[in-house]
């Protein structure tokens, strides 16, 4: 049964860990997918990586459709970017990076291969759109990389200082 999971916030160390490949798509992974999907939709996000809910497995869920449209949940297990080219800049935010967004430079075109929730190989091609950005963002999470790692050192330092101050004042929590 799907449950709402807690989302870890920066600077929690789990967000910096590299997720392990899924070797067996069993009921535990199916339940994880369902719970991640419910968590993503409830939080108003368009993507969620397992790291963000404290599970170090290479699983992402995403749905870049407008919230007014029908849901179109996508799942990728063990995703990897196999081709990329070009450049696009887009304003990004993250469910794990609170109260912050920034313009991030990404590849304009990506080809991503992985497994669907049934274990069947799939390939997704995305170019110059939100899907291309979302795929790169979520796969970065699986590698312990946050979108703020793609911004200038100065901007990242200012954000980090602000978050650490809020933590010291007990105004935010980084664990669910």
**Residues known to be catalytic:** 138
Residue whose tokens read 């795929």: 135
CB atoms within 10 A of CB 13: 9
As to burial, measured by CB atoms within 10 angstroms (0-12 exposed, 13-18 middle, 19+ buried), residue 7 is: buried
Q: Which residues pair with 110 in a beta bridge?
A: 84, 126
Query: Counting every residue, how long is the chain?
Result: 176
C-alpha angle 132/118/64, rounded to 5°? 25
Q: CA nearest 87: which of 104, 72, 99? A: 104
Angle at 56 (CA atoms; ends 149, 138), nearest 5 degrees: 45
Q: Is the backbone peptide bond immediately before 112 cis, with ω within 30 degrees of 0?
A: no
CA angle (12, 65, 59) in 5-degree steps: 40
């Amino acid at each position: 049964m799907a449950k709402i999971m807690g989302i870890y916030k920066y600077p929690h160390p789990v967000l910096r860990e590299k997720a392990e490949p899924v070797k067996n798509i069993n009921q535990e992974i199916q339940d994880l997918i369902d719970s991640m999907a419910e968590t993503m939709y409830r939080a108003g996000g368009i993507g969620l990586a397992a790291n963000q809910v404290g599970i170090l497995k290479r699983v992402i869920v995403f749905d870049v459709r407008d919230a007014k449209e029908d849901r179109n949940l996508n799942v990728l297990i063990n995703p990897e970017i196999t081709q990329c080219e070009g450049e696009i800049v887009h304003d990004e935010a993250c469910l794990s990076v609170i109260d912050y967004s920034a313009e991030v430079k990404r590849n304009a075109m990506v080809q991503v291969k992985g497994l669907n929730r049934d274990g069947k190989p799939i390939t997704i091609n995305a170019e110059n759109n939100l899907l291309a950005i979302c795929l790169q963002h979520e796969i970065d999470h699986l590698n312990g990389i946050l979108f703020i790692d793609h911004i200038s050192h100065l901007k990242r330092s200012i954000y980090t200082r602000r978050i650490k101050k809020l933590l010291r004042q007990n105004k935010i929590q980084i664990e669910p």
